[in-house]
Amino acid sequence: MGFLDVDLRPFVLGQGERFATPPGTLVEALQRTLKGLDCPVRLHRLPVRRLVQALSAGELDVAIGLAASDERQRLMRFPVDAHGRPDERWAIAEIDIRLYATAQRHPAVQAKLSQNGPAALRYGALRGSLYADALAAEGLRVELTPDFAKGWTMLHRGRFDVVLMPDVLAAGGGAVRAVGPTMFHLRFFAPVNPQFAAANEAWVRHFWQRLCRQTRPYFKDRQTCPEGEPH
C-alpha cells in the first residue's frame, strides 16, 4: 500500500520515505482497519506521480489518500456511484485548496488580480497535484514545488506571487494571507489496482467500508458511512 511522501497534517505526518510519530490520522485509521482483516501489509511513500504510476502498473495494490480525476479513473479503481462517478460518500478525507500570498505582498497581489485577472499572477503548486495540472491547462504560469514546506519557502523568497496550499497547512506558512475563496475542494479515496480489485472484489469492498468507518471521526459534518458496501 502506498501513501504520498509529503507532510500533509493532520492526515499524514513526516516527509519523504518515513512516517513521523504519530504518523497521522489516515495512517492510524488504516492501521485500525487492517487489524481485523488478517492481511500482511507493507507501506510505501512515493511522490504523487510515482504513486499513481506504481498503482496503475500493479507495483502497489492500494493507494491511500488520492483524489479522483478522469485520467486516474481510467488507471485505477475507485468506489463509484450508480452513474460510475467517484462516490464522495466513501471519501476518507477532504481538504480545501486556497491561494496564499505573503502578508506583505497581499495588497499588491489582490490589486494585480482585480485589475488584470488570474493570468497576471505567477503561481506555485505541488508537483503532480491535480490543481497544478488544472492551472497549467488554463495556460497560467505555474512553478512546481517538491513539497508543501518548500512551497512556503519559495513563496517567501518571491519565486511566485501566490501558492496553492491545503488550508489545513496555512498555520505553518508563516506570515501569509488567503487570496480569494477556496479554489478546489478535494476528496481523498483509497483507490486500488484494477487487476487486484478484479481478483479480490469482496475484500476490496469490505476494506473500503471498514476504512470509511475508521476515518469518519475526523470529518466535521459527515459522521457516518452509507449502509452496505461500496461498489
Encode 8-45 in three state secondary structure.
ECCCECCCCCCCCCCCCHHHHHHHHHHHCCCCCCCCEE
Q: Please give the average per-residue pLDDT across 145-170, as a whole number.
A: 97
What was the pLDDT predicted at 58?
97
Helix (H, G, I), strand (E, B) or coil at 140: coil
For β-strands 66-67 and 141-145, DSSP reports them as unpaired
What's the mean pLDDT in 187-214? 97
Q: Could you state, in order of their start, the residue ranges of all structural domains in the chain?
A: 2-92+190-218, 96-186
> Is the pLDDT score of 4 beyond 90?
yes
CATH no. for 96-186: 3.40.190.10
Q: What is the mean pLDDT of the chain?
A: 96
Q: Where are the beta strands (DSSP E) in 93-220?
A: 93-102, 122-126, 141-145, 162-166, 176-189
Instruction: Give the span between the Cα atoms of 63 and 176, in whole angstroms.
Output: 32
Decide if 60 contacts 194 (C-beta within 8 A). no
What pLDDT score was predicted for residue 37? 86
pLDDT, position 220:
78
Determine the pLDDT at residue 36. Answer: 78
Model confidence, pTM = 0.95
- pLDDT number for residue 38: 79
Kind plus residue range of the DSSP H or E element containing 2? strand 2-4
Q: Are both 2-92+190-218 and 96-186 of the same fold?
A: yes
- Above 90 in pLDDT, residue 214? yes
pLDDT band at 39 (very low <50, low <70, confident <90, very high): confident
Using the predicted structure, report yes or no on whether residue 221 has a pLDDT greater than 90.
no
DSSP state of 139: T
Average pLDDT of the segment spanning 70-97: 96
**Bridging pattern class, strands 176-189 and 93-102:** antiparallel
How is residue 192 annotated by DSSP? B
Q: DSSP string spanning 59-101?
A: S-SBBSSEE--HHHHHHSB--B-TTSSB-GGG-SEEEEEEEEE
Please state the CATH superfamily assignment of the domain spanning residues 2-92+190-218 in this structure: Periplasmic binding protein-like II (3.40.190.10)
CA distance 225 to 210: 9
Report the pLDDT averaged over residues 109-123. 97
